[in-house]
Amino acid sequence: MSMINKKLIIAFFSVLILGIIGLFTIDQATQSRINNLSVISEVPSFQLDNFDGTSFTEKNLDNKITVASFIFTQCEGACPIMSTNMGLLQKRFSDSDALQFVSITTDPDYDSSSVLKEFSDKYSSKNNWFFLRGDINDVVKLSEDGFFLSASLLPTGHSTRLVLIDKDRNIRQYYEGTVDANIIELQNDIVTLINKG
């Protein structure tokens, strides 16, 4: 075999090996994204009120992908950013019925239904975003025991994380609600859940 043919064969096999490495790596990356969304825990039963007076329980999480947050309307730091980001996601996924949003107030004394309605008008552009209030002890219990998010020194001490919940009420992942890169990540994970269930 001539030198040239030998070199061509080496080149061919190098490209082939690189292709296999590439395919394997891409597959691993895709798989890792799905694994990264493994079930963390099931949301326990709860009962809160939406600002329109209707009751909202864990059953309302069924058959919808839910993005949940803890906020209060007088909060000046993280909450406006978190809520703007949730509004952004609401707009971007406005064509999909698979998604809903839930914000639970950590200041039910001030955040009456009418205050929450005003807040909703400011941030929400579709009727798939529920602003919930209830007894403060229930909210603390839901935050700490249900979502594993700290809730000390309320109202200000609520978590700034957004929670991704799947169609079967399972918590799948947490995202820092004020960090753009995490919002993009959340968006990609929502797409993964919509496509893969």
Partner 1 sequence: MKKQLFFQSAVVSTILSYFLIFVGGLVRVSGAGMGCPNWPKCGDGWMPPTNIDINQINTTLAWIEFTNRMFGVILGISIIILNVLAVFYFRKNYNLLFASILSLIFVIVNGVLGGVLVWFELNPYIKTVHMLFALILVSILSYICIKSYKMINTTLFKGLKKNPILSKSLIVFWILIVVEILLGTGIRTNLELVSIENPLLSKGELLNALDSYKYFHSFLGFTLLFLSAYIYSKLRTNKLYIARFLGIFILGMIIVQIFLGEMMIFFELPQLTRLFHTWGSSWLVGVVIILYNCISNEYDK
Q: How far apart are CA 80 and CA 82, in angstroms?
A: 6
Nearest approach, Cβ of 144 to partner 1 (angstroms)? 18
Among 9, 16, 23, 39, binds partner 1 (CB under 8 A): 23
Pick the closer one to partner 1 by CB: 140 or 149. 149
Residues 75, 155: contact at Cβ < 8 Å? yes
| Residue 129 tokens, joined | 């975003």
Element (H, E) at 139: helix 136-141
Half-sphere exposure of 195 (CA within 13 A, CB side): 8
Q: In angstroms, what is the minimal distance from the CB of 128 to partner 1?
A: 14
Tokens of residue 51, six digits: 């600002």
Q: How many CA atoms lie within 13 A of 85 on its CB side?
A: 27
- Per the rule left: phi > 0, alpha: psi between -120 and 50, beta: everything else, 186 is alpha
| Residue 44 binds partner 1 (CB under 8 A) | no
Stretch that binds partner 1, among 56-64, 93-101, 143-151, 164-172 (CB under 8 A): 93-101
Can you read off the two tokens belonging to residue 107? 């200041």
Would you count residue 125 as binding partner 1 (CB under 8 A)? no
Give me the least distance between CB of 89 and partner 1, in Å please: 9
Binding mask of the shown chain, residues 143 to 182, with x at each position contacting partner 1 by CB under 8 A:
------------------------------xx-----xx-
Q: State the nearest-atom distance from the C-beta of 190 to partner 1, in Å.
A: 7
Q: Rule CB under 8 A: which residues touch partner 1?
A: 18-19, 21-23, 25-26, 28-33, 36, 92-93, 95-96, 173-174, 180-181, 184, 187-188, 190-191, 194
